[in-house]
Structure 1
Amino acid sequence: MVETSSRSLHLFISHEEKEKKIAISLKRLIKHIFRDKIDVFVSSDDESIPSGKQWFDVLTTALRQADYVVILCSGTAVKRPWINFELGGACLLKKDIIPLCIHNMQFSQLPPPYSNFQGFVASDYIRLSKLFRDMADRISCPLPPFDMTSTEYHRVIHNLSSEEGFVSLAMEGSGTYIPGNKLNFSGTATDGSEIVKLKIYNAADPYSLLEELKVAIQNDQTYVQEIDSSRYPPGQYYVLAETQKGIYTKVTFLLRSMKPEPTPLYKKFLR
């Protein structure tokens, strides 16, 4: 297992009240990927501001502690006094500021000072994944494999119906392991299923099922499962998570042999 740093990051999400669903879905996505390695503050989330607390003090403390400030930018949000207040505070505190464009807002349409900071469109998963990689590097934490299209964030950003539910799947670690490592899987299933099936395939023979595990879905709609990889030889694999209603997603991982590469004969004679 890759060693990780005990350091954690703090992220502050600034948003209009009506964009609460986007802000919370982004928070859940980050917590799902990084677990307790990144603390995410969302003012409209009761977890961020507990009952009885003075919200202004909690908010300003969270802004001071933040390593990143993500601002959900729509045509109306950039005109809101409170969003501008949070942006100004982040500027004075010299935070890393990331405008995240939503609701058809393009980065080229952002007014200053928002346009002074490098941002991107919320549905640009390549840049969002790069941001996650930067965060992971900053805390020396491997970025686990994950499928953006199976997440609540994807559904909220694209305004997709949630009636049928969805299932997500992530792995702890970098996606590359050695035989004998424990493989830790976790995810969320929201279609009402009681179990999720984890099906493991060898990528070289994708029609041959190696193993199937039935994992109970908890009351909070999450599931976790640990698998011993020692029974699999080195190679590329993929894991399919499928609910009882047939909704599925998958991630891939690599088992790499720890045997040293053979030394070419000519190198043995070099002095």
Structure 2
Amino acid sequence: MDSPSLFPASQTVFSVLRVVDSTGSTNSDVLAELDDTRRWPHLSALVCFDQRSGRGRRGRSWLADPGALMAVSIVLRRPGVPAEHSLALPLVVGLAVRRALLPVVGVSLKWPNDVHVNGRKLAGILCESRGNGAIVAGVGINLRRSGQAFDAGQLDASRVASLDEFQPRVDPDAVLARLGGELDALAAQLWDAGGDLVASGLSHEYLSASSTVDSRVRVTRPGGEVIEGGCVGFDAQGRILVADSAQHIARLDAGEVEHVRPAAPSASSAHRSWRGLP
């Protein structure tokens, strides 16, 4: 594909913009060459509208008909930044996606990586690294309805949203350009604050966008442990804070979150001062 003609606005935002007709996974393609800093410098990106082996969290597949999904993987680099200063980047990517979509539709963020409209998934985020200090931020945005089963059967069609519901002729170039500009600025804001969401000034924006805070949640951790309680906020590194019935707070940096129901007042209001605190 010819990226200058397809993405004239985005071409002026990204340091490098590569567009392919189809691929297995844009994240996998970029990760395989991530050590090549000249090919994949900071704010370089790979875009595709026919991703055939897209990956979600916990190894799940994300499937869509050709042209129904815009998949983009964006490289974020800053020499000398410790890995721990990028722990909250997935939340920052969520904010960038939210800002980029705002001219089309307002969205909420389900911790840690889903973008929702009225409880339906519009976009997904997967941040990965190979331990060399660079982060690949993968974003998949549903442009139109797909006949395939999203998320390898984990989501039914009624729980999936697409941009064409809210704006029939969405310009992917405009969305991508806004996403690149917002992500570049927000990542710099986080890194300048030493990876601290509170010090960066981004914690309040994330809280206001979150559909998870004040909900009763069930978190399945990578090892299979299940923790249920009220989400009372997030810490400065982006970990979710879950209060159980005894008001003990668990700080979790990974897990599959299910919104069970709105949190009981005792599980949320008693610990509101935890929100955004390290």
TM-score, normalising length: structure 2: 0.29
What TM-score results when the alignment is normalised by the length of structure 1?
A: 0.29
Larger radius of gyration: 1
